[in-house]
């Protein structure tokens, strides 16, 4: 289902939290008090690194061949030596792959809906690619937050989709939730906005058009304002990032 095929009147009646793609989720998955949000075991890291070695060139080829994918602004993240939070619009089933390619050679730790860990096969892959489930049960929120804080303190990259849900090929930035900006403020690390853009096909002549392509634009890092109180700093950071990303699509 593609939002670009929905008429304007219907689009306005869709909740921004609505999920426009639905996947089969027959597998059981449950977070409990013993759940390990970030697996640091030697065996897990060995298999994870092996998958990265296989997946990186394969996904680079797939995104380039099928979507003409390219990255702009890579220099904006090359000199960040601390932990960082990256955010992007959520507009394609493979946009997590595109974010990972943009952050390479550094690994990306993704945050994801807990329900994605109920999808057959996918659940194994995303786990090995360092995806951290966001618990639905508020009882386990602190353990989740502590795990993300630890990653950022250890200079890792954590990616959030602040819009929350996937709207395929949507060409605007939707409203943001606070989570990513809360982590950035609490750990005093930058937010690096990434904007995924769908480029319109170009005409070769009056009869033939080239295919549409995808570009991921890495914007300059945006830092929390340490002069503000925490709540104000979160709102301020969220608004600056939102405006920056909107400007890219204007």
The band of 45, judged by pLDDT with boundaries at 50, 70 and 90, is very high
Residue 206 makes CB contacts below 8 A (sequence gap 6+) with none
Alpha helices in 20-140 (DSSP H): 42-67, 75-78, 95-103, 122-128
Q: Given this model, what pLDDT does residue 7 score?
A: 47
Q: Are 193 and 245 in contact (CB under 8 A)?
A: yes
Chain segment 129-177, per-residue pLDDT in tens: 999 999 999 999 999 999 999 999 999 999 999 998 999 999 999 999 9
Chain segment 91-100, per-residue pLDDT in tens: 999 999 999 9
Tally of helices (H runs) and strands (E runs) in the chain? 8, 7
Q: Token digits for 6?
A: 């929905």
Q: Given this model, what pLDDT does residue 25 score?
A: 85
The string over 156-183, giving b where at least 16 C-beta atoms fall within 10 Å of a residue's C-beta and e elsewhere, is bbbbbbbbbbbbbebeebbebeebbbbb
Smallest CA-to-CA distance from 128 within 117, 118, 139, 136 is with 117
Q: What is the mean pLDDT of the chain?
A: 90
Work out the average pLDDT over 179-199: 97
Q: Given this model, what pLDDT does residue 205 score?
A: 59
Q: Which domains does the chain have, with CATH numbers?
A: 38-249 (3.40.1130.10)
Q: Is the pLDDT of residue 44 over 90?
A: yes
């Amino acid at each position: 289902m593609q939002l670009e095929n929905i008429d304007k009147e219907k689009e306005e009646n869709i909740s921004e939290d609505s999920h426009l793609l639905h996947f089969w989720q027959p597998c059981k998955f449950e977070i409990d008090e013993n759940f390990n949000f970030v697996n640091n075991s030697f065996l897990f890291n060995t298999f994870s690194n092996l998958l990265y070695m296989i997946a990186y060139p394969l996904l680079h080829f797939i995104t380039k061949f099928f979507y003409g994918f390219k990255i702009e602004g890579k220099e904006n993240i090359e000199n960040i030596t601390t932990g960082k939070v990256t955010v992007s619009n959520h507009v394609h089933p493979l946009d997590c792959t595109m974010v990972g390619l943009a952050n390479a050679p550094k690994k990306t730790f993704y945050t994801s809906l807990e329900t994605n860990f109920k999808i057959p096969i996918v659940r194994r892959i995303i786990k090995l690619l360092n995806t951290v489930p966001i618990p639905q049960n508020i009882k386990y929120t602190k353990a989740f937050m502590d795990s993300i804080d630890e990653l950022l303190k250890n200079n890792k990259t954590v990616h959030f989709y602040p819009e929350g849900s996937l709207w395929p090929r949507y060409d605007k930035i939707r409203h943001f939730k606070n989570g990513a900006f809360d982590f950035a403020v609490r750990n005093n690390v930058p937010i690096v906005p990434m904007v995924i853009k769908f480029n319109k096909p170009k005409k070769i002549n009056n009869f033939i058009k080239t295919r549409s392509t995808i570009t991921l634009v890495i914007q300059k890092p945006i830092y929390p304002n340490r002069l503000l109180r925490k709540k104000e700093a979160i709102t301020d950071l969220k608004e600056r990032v939102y405006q920056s990303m909107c400007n890219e699509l204007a």
